[in-house]
Structure 1
Amino acid sequence: MLEIASGSGQHVCYFAPHFPNVLFQPSDMDDRYVKSINLYIDHFKLCNVKQALKIDVRNDISSWNLPIEFQPEQIDYLLSINMIHISSNAAVDALFKRAGSLLSSKHGLLITYGPYATNGEITPQSNIDFHRSLLSTNPEWGLRDINLLNEKAAISGLYVQKVHDMPANNKMIIFGRQPVS
């Protein structure tokens, strides 16, 4: 599982012991987070987590220095937690483009987590307030609509396979490969 925008490393360190047969590759574009992730990995002595890579999803995959296990069309899962609402449009577009190139052709899944709008509507009020706060920080940030994300995904051969409601008004969206006709 390649994780894009791993942040501090808390998520990969939580998931790794629960999925001992999965090899995790965390990453982040911020050097401070890469260092934090690696400290977490070392502290918890996680055998199924590789050292974090510095990856900016907007950059070409060839610059990512991915290990042999994570080459294009060989990745089963690409995970992105709490990235989409605090990213530029270019980064969101790049996430889908890179997923289209990296995920295995039959069973690859892009899994995203965070707050989203649904059919143009943001609920509850706390998410509306959060969206406004994000926009005031950066006009390119904010809660993206699931339909818009599905359109972006389709360009890279992906589609919304399933949406799960999660705690704290978040959602997990699973994008799968478009069926080949």
Structure 2
Amino acid sequence: MAYLEEAKGAKRHAPAALRNREPILGILKQELPEWGLVLELASGSGEHALYFAEHMRGLEWQPSDPDPQALASIAAYHADYNGEGGGVNLRKPLQLDAASPNWPVERADAILCINMVHISPWEATAGLFRGAAQILSGKNLPLVLYGPYFEQQVEPAPSNLQFDASLRARDPRWGIRDAEKVDTLASEHGFTRSARYEMPANNLMLVYRTA
């Protein structure tokens, strides 16, 4: 995800976050539990975590990212929210690489991952489901993915084909994934896809749940 420098300190701004946050929030209100801890992987600028924490105050939000600049941006938004904003349900960010076998989180009630699967090696998605299986310890707990996907029997949007080509040109390990391949990976770790939502700009939200 591309960031634009903000005038204030370490904060970064992701234009896509402003465009898609309301549609994503609408689905999260349907799919996430009313209470508990939500772990967000690849939080990027931190704007999503801030927005969702503001609008779902019954949930505690744990943002994370492997990138130091992203972590600094998240921490800056966290400081404002927990200071001037009066919020208490947004935690400080954790450095977490989805591909790592050891996550700095012992348990969660839900996991959210926005725009990571196509901008990372496949090993990161495999690590995402492996780690999620370890920390989502209850039944019917959600793992929610957002981003572009290719699907069998669905004609791909030309913009997604172009985007996929540009991603692979930047890094051959990146690219839009086949939803069915993600489903297979999910099942290997005890997850079943429970919902599919069409989102703006030819994106999808895929919801997987523990058995």
- Fold match, TM over 0.5? yes
Match 1:49 to one of 80, 90, 105:
90
Identity %: 36
How far apart are 1:138 and its partner, in Å? 1.0
- Give the aligned partner of residue 104 of structure 2: 65
How far apart are 1:121 and its partner, in Å? 5.2
Contact 2:101-2:127 at 8 Å conserved across structures:
no
**Equivalent residue runs for 1:111-126 within 5 Å:** 111-119=144-152, 123-126=156-159
Q: Distance in 1 between matches of 2:68 and 2:161?
A: 31
Three-state SS of the structure 2 residue aligned to 1:84 is: coil
The one-letter code sitting in structure 1 at the alignment partner of 2:183 is N
How far apart are 1:122 and its partner, in Å? 5.8
Contact 2:142-2:209 at 8 Å conserved across structures:
yes
Runs of 5+ in structure 2 lacking a partner? 1-37
Structure 1's consecutive aligned runs of 4 or more residues displaced over 6 angstroms after TM superposition are none
Deviations 1:49-107 (A, max 9, x none): 1100001112223xx433xxxx24xx211000000000101111101111111113302
* Alignment CA distance shift 1:56-1:122 (3 Å): farther
- Give the aligned partner of residue 171 of structure 1: 204
Q: Distance in 1 between matches of 2:112 and 2:70?
A: 16
Q: Distance in 1 between matches of 2:155 and 2:42?
A: 24
The one-letter code sitting in structure 2 at the alignment partner of 1:41 is H
- Give the aligned partner of residue 56 of structure 2: 19
The one-letter code sitting in structure 1 at the alignment partner of 2:182 is L
Decide which structure has greater strand share.
Answer: 2
* Alignment CA distance shift 1:122-1:8 (3 Å): farther
Contact 1:76-1:107 at 8 Å conserved across structures:
no
- Give the aligned partner of residue 5 of structure 1: 42
- Give the aligned partner of residue 16 of structure 2: none
Three-state SS of the structure 2 residue aligned to 1:50 is: coil
Contact 1:114-1:171 at 8 Å conserved across structures:
yes
TM-score for the superposition, normalised by structure 1 = 0.89
Q: How large is the RMSD of aligned CA atoms in angstroms?
A: 1.3
Contact 1:3-1:78 at 8 Å conserved across structures:
yes
Q: Distance in 1 between matches of 2:46 and 2:113?
A: 12
Runs of 5+ in structure 1 lacking a partner? none
Three-state SS of the structure 1 residue aligned to 2:60 is: coil
Match 1:132 to one of 142, 147, 165:
165
Contact 1:163-1:174 at 8 Å conserved across structures:
yes
Q: Distance in 1 between matches of 2:123 and 2:196?
A: 23
Q: Distance in 1 between matches of 2:153 and 2:190?
A: 23
Q: How many residues align?
A: 170
Q: Distance in 2 between matches of 1:145 and 1:115?
A: 9
